[in-house]
Amino acid sequence: MKIHPTAIVHPDAVLGDGVEIGPWVIIEGAVKIGARTRVGPRVTIEGHTTIGEDNEIFTGAVIGSRTQDRKFDGGISYLRIGNRNKIREYVTINPGTMSGTETVIGDDNLLMAYAHIAHDCVIHNGCTLANNGTLAGHVIVEDKAIIGGLSAVHQFVRIGKLSITGGCSKVVQDIPPFMMVDGHPASAFGINSVGLDRAGYSREEKANLKKAFKIIFRSGLILKNVIKELAQQIPASPSVDELTRFLGKSERGICG
Protein backbone atom coordinates (compact mmCIF):
# COMPACT_ATOMS: atom_id res chain seq x y z
CA MET A 1 0.00 0.00 0.00
CA LYS A 2 0.97 3.59 -0.64
CA ILE A 3 -0.60 6.05 1.80
CA HIS A 4 0.40 9.68 1.52
CA PRO A 5 1.57 11.09 4.87
CA THR A 6 -1.11 13.81 4.81
CA ALA A 7 -3.95 11.28 4.44
CA ILE A 8 -6.11 10.41 7.47
CA VAL A 9 -7.22 6.77 7.54
CA HIS A 10 -9.46 5.46 10.32
CA PRO A 11 -7.99 2.42 12.13
CA ASP A 12 -11.15 0.41 11.37
CA ALA A 13 -10.72 0.87 7.60
CA VAL A 14 -9.60 -2.19 5.63
CA LEU A 15 -7.34 -1.57 2.64
CA GLY A 16 -6.41 -4.28 0.14
CA ASP A 17 -3.05 -5.01 -1.44
CA GLY A 18 -1.71 -2.31 -3.70
CA VAL A 19 -4.22 0.36 -2.67
CA GLU A 20 -2.95 3.92 -3.21
CA ILE A 21 -4.21 6.76 -1.02
CA GLY A 22 -3.34 10.28 -2.19
CA PRO A 23 -2.67 13.50 -0.30
CA TRP A 24 -5.27 14.97 2.04
CA VAL A 25 -7.60 11.99 1.68
CA ILE A 26 -9.97 11.29 4.60
CA ILE A 27 -11.22 7.74 5.17
CA GLU A 28 -13.63 7.45 8.07
CA GLY A 29 -15.16 4.45 9.82
CA ALA A 30 -15.68 0.92 8.58
CA VAL A 31 -14.65 1.53 4.96
CA LYS A 32 -13.32 -1.38 2.90
CA ILE A 33 -11.27 -0.76 -0.24
CA GLY A 34 -10.23 -3.59 -2.55
CA ALA A 35 -6.86 -4.33 -4.08
CA ARG A 36 -5.15 -1.87 -6.44
CA THR A 37 -7.81 0.82 -6.09
CA ARG A 38 -6.36 4.31 -6.38
CA VAL A 39 -7.80 7.18 -4.36
CA GLY A 40 -6.83 10.64 -5.56
CA PRO A 41 -6.19 13.88 -3.66
CA ARG A 42 -8.75 15.30 -1.24
CA VAL A 43 -11.20 12.43 -1.63
CA THR A 44 -13.49 11.70 1.35
CA ILE A 45 -14.79 8.15 1.88
CA GLU A 46 -17.00 7.48 4.86
CA GLY A 47 -19.78 5.37 6.33
CA HIS A 48 -20.32 1.68 5.72
CA THR A 49 -18.80 1.79 2.26
CA THR A 50 -17.29 -1.16 0.42
CA ILE A 51 -15.26 -0.51 -2.73
CA GLY A 52 -13.97 -3.32 -4.92
CA GLU A 53 -10.74 -3.79 -6.86
CA ASP A 54 -9.00 -1.71 -9.53
CA ASN A 55 -11.15 1.39 -9.16
CA GLU A 56 -9.90 4.92 -9.78
CA ILE A 57 -11.33 7.71 -7.64
CA PHE A 58 -10.29 11.19 -8.69
CA THR A 59 -9.78 14.50 -6.90
CA GLY A 60 -12.39 15.71 -4.46
CA ALA A 61 -14.95 12.92 -4.78
CA VAL A 62 -17.16 12.37 -1.70
CA ILE A 63 -18.12 8.73 -1.37
CA GLY A 64 -20.56 7.34 1.20
CA SER A 65 -21.55 10.59 2.88
CA ARG A 66 -24.87 10.49 4.72
CA THR A 67 -27.99 10.48 2.55
CA GLN A 68 -29.64 13.84 1.85
CA ASP A 69 -33.09 12.25 2.15
CA ARG A 70 -35.28 13.91 4.82
CA LYS A 71 -36.47 10.42 5.81
CA PHE A 72 -33.04 9.41 7.11
CA ASP A 73 -33.66 7.77 10.47
CA GLY A 74 -30.13 7.71 11.83
CA GLY A 75 -29.69 3.98 11.20
CA ILE A 76 -26.87 2.18 9.44
CA SER A 77 -27.14 2.06 5.66
CA TYR A 78 -24.65 0.95 3.04
CA LEU A 79 -22.84 1.76 -0.19
CA ARG A 80 -21.37 -1.01 -2.34
CA ILE A 81 -19.15 -0.26 -5.32
CA GLY A 82 -17.81 -3.01 -7.59
CA ASN A 83 -14.64 -3.28 -9.65
CA ARG A 84 -12.86 -1.22 -12.32
CA ASN A 85 -15.03 1.87 -11.97
CA LYS A 86 -13.75 5.35 -12.79
CA ILE A 87 -15.17 7.92 -10.40
CA ARG A 88 -14.09 11.31 -11.63
CA GLU A 89 -13.56 14.67 -9.95
CA TYR A 90 -16.05 15.81 -7.29
CA VAL A 91 -18.54 12.99 -7.83
CA THR A 92 -20.86 12.49 -4.83
CA ILE A 93 -22.43 9.13 -3.94
CA ASN A 94 -24.79 8.56 -1.00
CA PRO A 95 -25.70 5.28 0.75
CA GLY A 96 -29.25 4.07 1.37
CA THR A 97 -31.70 6.03 3.52
CA MET A 98 -33.37 3.63 5.92
CA SER A 99 -31.51 1.26 8.21
CA GLY A 100 -30.22 -1.76 6.28
CA THR A 101 -30.76 -0.27 2.81
CA GLU A 102 -27.99 0.28 0.28
CA THR A 103 -26.86 2.06 -2.85
CA VAL A 104 -25.16 -0.31 -5.30
CA ILE A 105 -22.79 0.41 -8.18
CA GLY A 106 -21.60 -2.51 -10.30
CA ASP A 107 -18.48 -2.89 -12.43
CA ASP A 108 -16.80 -0.93 -15.25
CA ASN A 109 -18.83 2.25 -14.88
CA LEU A 110 -17.67 5.77 -15.76
CA LEU A 111 -19.03 8.46 -13.44
CA MET A 112 -17.83 11.76 -14.84
CA ALA A 113 -17.04 14.99 -13.01
CA TYR A 114 -19.62 16.40 -10.58
CA ALA A 115 -22.10 13.57 -11.14
CA HIS A 116 -24.39 12.81 -8.21
CA ILE A 117 -25.85 9.43 -7.25
CA ALA A 118 -28.44 9.71 -4.50
CA HIS A 119 -29.63 7.22 -1.90
CA ASP A 120 -30.84 3.71 -2.80
CA CYS A 121 -29.80 3.88 -6.46
CA VAL A 122 -28.66 0.80 -8.35
CA ILE A 123 -26.28 1.16 -11.27
CA HIS A 124 -25.51 -2.04 -13.12
CA ASN A 125 -22.38 -2.54 -15.27
CA GLY A 126 -20.64 -0.58 -18.02
CA CYS A 127 -22.77 2.56 -17.63
CA THR A 128 -21.74 6.16 -18.25
CA LEU A 129 -23.06 9.10 -16.25
CA ALA A 130 -21.63 12.22 -17.88
CA ASN A 131 -20.59 15.50 -16.26
CA ASN A 132 -23.12 16.91 -13.77
CA GLY A 133 -25.56 14.07 -14.40
CA THR A 134 -27.86 13.71 -11.39
CA LEU A 135 -29.75 10.65 -10.17
CA ALA A 136 -32.42 11.17 -7.52
CA GLY A 137 -33.17 8.40 -5.01
CA HIS A 138 -34.13 4.85 -5.97
CA VAL A 139 -33.10 5.20 -9.63
CA ILE A 140 -32.11 1.99 -11.45
CA VAL A 141 -29.69 2.18 -14.38
CA GLU A 142 -29.26 -1.03 -16.38
CA ASP A 143 -26.17 -2.31 -18.23
CA LYS A 144 -24.32 0.02 -20.64
CA ALA A 145 -26.83 2.85 -20.41
CA ILE A 146 -25.49 6.34 -21.14
CA ILE A 147 -26.86 9.43 -19.39
CA GLY A 148 -25.77 12.73 -20.92
CA GLY A 149 -24.25 15.65 -19.07
CA LEU A 150 -26.43 18.01 -17.03
CA SER A 151 -29.32 15.54 -17.15
CA ALA A 152 -31.55 15.01 -14.12
CA VAL A 153 -33.38 11.75 -13.41
CA HIS A 154 -36.46 11.75 -11.17
CA GLN A 155 -36.66 9.38 -8.20
CA PHE A 156 -37.81 5.79 -8.84
CA VAL A 157 -37.17 6.08 -12.60
CA ARG A 158 -35.63 3.09 -14.40
CA ILE A 159 -33.13 3.55 -17.22
CA GLY A 160 -33.05 0.56 -19.56
CA LYS A 161 -30.12 -1.38 -20.93
CA LEU A 162 -28.11 0.21 -23.77
CA SER A 163 -30.27 3.32 -23.79
CA ILE A 164 -28.94 6.84 -24.37
CA THR A 165 -30.24 9.95 -22.66
CA GLY A 166 -29.24 13.21 -24.35
CA GLY A 167 -27.53 15.99 -22.43
CA CYS A 168 -29.61 18.47 -20.41
CA SER A 169 -32.60 16.10 -20.38
CA LYS A 170 -35.28 16.00 -17.70
CA VAL A 171 -36.18 12.33 -17.14
CA VAL A 172 -39.43 11.81 -15.23
CA GLN A 173 -40.52 8.40 -16.60
CA ASP A 174 -38.85 5.10 -17.42
CA ILE A 175 -36.59 4.85 -20.49
CA PRO A 176 -36.97 1.44 -22.20
CA PRO A 177 -33.89 -0.57 -23.18
CA PHE A 178 -32.13 0.21 -26.48
CA MET A 179 -33.86 3.57 -26.96
CA MET A 180 -32.54 7.12 -27.44
CA VAL A 181 -34.30 9.92 -25.60
CA ASP A 182 -33.80 13.64 -25.28
CA GLY A 183 -35.64 16.71 -24.13
CA HIS A 184 -37.40 18.46 -21.29
CA PRO A 185 -39.15 16.23 -20.41
CA ALA A 186 -37.28 13.49 -22.26
CA SER A 187 -39.03 11.74 -25.14
CA ALA A 188 -37.90 8.90 -27.37
CA PHE A 189 -36.83 9.48 -30.97
CA GLY A 190 -35.28 6.19 -32.10
CA ILE A 191 -33.25 3.12 -31.19
CA ASN A 192 -29.60 3.17 -30.21
CA SER A 193 -28.32 1.68 -33.49
CA VAL A 194 -24.65 2.41 -32.87
CA GLY A 195 -24.75 0.96 -29.36
CA LEU A 196 -26.52 -2.15 -30.65
CA ASP A 197 -23.86 -2.62 -33.34
CA ARG A 198 -21.06 -2.28 -30.83
CA ALA A 199 -22.75 -4.77 -28.52
CA GLY A 200 -23.01 -7.34 -31.35
CA TYR A 201 -26.77 -7.36 -31.93
CA SER A 202 -27.83 -8.75 -35.30
CA ARG A 203 -29.52 -6.82 -38.12
CA GLU A 204 -32.64 -8.88 -37.52
CA GLU A 205 -32.77 -7.85 -33.87
CA LYS A 206 -32.27 -4.21 -34.80
CA ALA A 207 -35.11 -4.44 -37.33
CA ASN A 208 -37.38 -5.95 -34.68
CA LEU A 209 -36.47 -3.20 -32.22
CA LYS A 210 -37.34 -0.56 -34.81
CA LYS A 211 -40.77 -2.19 -35.16
CA ALA A 212 -41.07 -2.27 -31.39
CA PHE A 213 -40.21 1.44 -31.21
CA LYS A 214 -43.12 2.29 -33.52
CA ILE A 215 -45.53 0.17 -31.50
CA ILE A 216 -44.43 1.64 -28.16
CA PHE A 217 -44.17 5.28 -29.12
CA ARG A 218 -46.23 5.82 -32.25
CA SER A 219 -49.27 3.53 -31.96
CA GLY A 220 -51.11 5.51 -29.29
CA LEU A 221 -51.82 2.32 -27.34
CA ILE A 222 -51.77 2.18 -23.54
CA LEU A 223 -48.90 0.24 -22.03
CA LYS A 224 -50.68 -3.07 -21.35
CA ASN A 225 -51.90 -3.14 -24.95
CA VAL A 226 -48.44 -2.24 -26.23
CA ILE A 227 -47.08 -5.37 -24.51
CA LYS A 228 -49.78 -7.52 -26.14
CA GLU A 229 -49.07 -5.99 -29.53
CA LEU A 230 -45.35 -6.64 -29.22
CA ALA A 231 -46.03 -10.31 -28.46
CA GLN A 232 -48.34 -10.64 -31.48
CA GLN A 233 -46.33 -8.74 -34.07
CA ILE A 234 -42.66 -9.32 -33.28
CA PRO A 235 -40.86 -12.70 -33.00
CA ALA A 236 -39.33 -13.49 -29.65
CA SER A 237 -35.62 -12.69 -29.32
CA PRO A 238 -33.29 -11.75 -26.46
CA SER A 239 -33.63 -8.02 -27.17
CA VAL A 240 -37.42 -8.05 -27.60
CA ASP A 241 -37.80 -10.23 -24.50
CA GLU A 242 -35.65 -7.74 -22.55
CA LEU A 243 -37.78 -4.86 -23.79
CA THR A 244 -41.06 -6.60 -22.94
CA ARG A 245 -39.80 -7.53 -19.46
CA PHE A 246 -38.87 -3.92 -18.79
CA LEU A 247 -42.21 -2.56 -19.96
CA GLY A 248 -44.08 -5.06 -17.82
CA LYS A 249 -42.34 -3.80 -14.67
CA SER A 250 -42.83 -0.09 -15.33
CA GLU A 251 -44.54 1.80 -12.51
CA ARG A 252 -43.85 5.39 -13.52
CA GLY A 253 -44.86 4.89 -17.16
CA ILE A 254 -42.70 5.19 -20.26
CA CYS A 255 -41.19 8.45 -21.49
CA GLY A 256 -43.17 9.89 -24.43
Q: Which residues are catalytic?
A: 119-120, 137
Strands 179-183 and 164-165: parallel
Q: Residue 232 contacts by C-beta under 8 Å, 6 or more apart in sequence?
A: none
Q: Which residues contact 221 (CB under 8 A, 6 or more apart)?
A: 215, 229
User: Can you give the length of the chain in residues?
Assistant: 256
Decide: 52 and 125 in contact? Cβ < 8 Å: no
DSSP assignment string, 14-68: EE-TT-EE-TT-EE-SS-EE-TT-EE-TT-EE-SEEEE-SS-EE-TT-EESPPP-
